[in-house]
Chains A and B, each alone.
Chain A
């Protein structure tokens, strides 16, 4: 996978902790509410893609936005989760929805 010049060197590493932001976007978005303010770990970098939240309004979506797979522990996402403590959920998150999450904050221990 080719990494565009403007994001290479800044790509988040697999395993690093991130928090999903709760941006007050009024309109189309690709970050569902159930992951907002939740902490997960980068699973992989998927490449950079035109921003779908701008493409949705007929714009070109450029510059391309880095896209990641982020993994969450299910029991952290859902209070009272009925399932194994090992269960996980992954979804794709664009860079503008991500912020670094210091290690001393609430950890998602079972997510590696």
Chain B
């Protein structure tokens, strides 16, 4: 399992960041290396974007600012939240009791209606899915992985969570309850995994390295290397 650290962070050249630092509202088509110019969805996107800018509905700068805000979050934010909870029992309590304000203490803003922390214990393993669409705590974790929004995951995670988890290489013992959370409405969910043994005395930064994106969804658990 690859860690989530490469996902959504600095992988994309920021539009307008390279060639011109001046501010202006006219539209620059930004051709990225990863753009397939014959992709019908990309063409539809460009068509909508250019028409909206011409009509003055929004500006290219507003769009750019929104992208930059989105690119500042990612799985590293979730890992930081978990590491704080592991290292600080008082923060852990606040996080479980009122997640939004606890997360705000660390400088992160949960834009969705509310966040619920689901805590793994020796008795309960939590797994997050959205069967109806693709709900995910994007305001802190960024874009979900492709498998999370796939038809197979959305279809199967509710009915056969143990075999789904097993496909990710994780076995949950039969005396541990598997609790599936179908994130189907206004709440968003973050798994708080168990701190691995053998990590006594580790600082927060080192602890956060153990927490991959999939640990925050429930298809993996942190392993002390």
Interface positions of A (Cβ within 8 A of B): 30-32, 34, 46-47, 49, 52, 67, 69, 74, 77-78, 81-84, 86-94
Contacts and interface: CB of A to CB of B under 8 A. Distances in A.
B181 A90 contact: yes
A52 B175 CA distance: 38
Contacts of B158: 34, 77, 89
12 contacts: A32-B184, A69-B116, A74-B180, A82-B163, A84-B176, A87-B180, A91-B185, A92-B183, A92-B184, A92-B185, A92-B187, A93-B185
Contact of A94 (B160, B185, B187): B185
Contacts of A90: 179-182
Nearest to B175: A84
A27 B69 CA distance: 33
A92 B186 contact: yes
B76 interface: no
Contact of A30 (B132, B163, B175): B132
Contacts of A31: 184
Contacts of A89: 158, 179-182
B162 interface: yes
Nearest to B189: A90
Given A49-B185, A87-B161, 10 more contacts: A30-B185, A32-B184, A46-B186, A74-B161, A83-B160, A90-B179, A90-B182, A91-B183, A92-B186, A93-B185
Interface of B: 113-114, 116, 131-132, 158-163, 174-187
Nearest to B159: A78
A49 B177 contact: no
Given A46-B114, A83-B178, A89-B179, A52 B186 contact: yes
A84 B174 contact: yes
B126 to A, nearest CB: 9
A86 B177 contact: yes
Nearest to A28: B132
A10 to B, nearest CB: 19
A52 B180 contact: no
Contacts of B183: 91-92
B175 A82 contact: no
A43 B209 CA distance: 33
Given A32-B132, A34-B158, A46-B114, A52 B185 contact: yes
A70 to B, nearest CB: 10
Contacts of A82: 160, 162-163
Nearest to A44: B116
A93 to B, nearest CB: 8
Given A52-B186, A67-B186, A84-B174, A91 B181 contact: yes
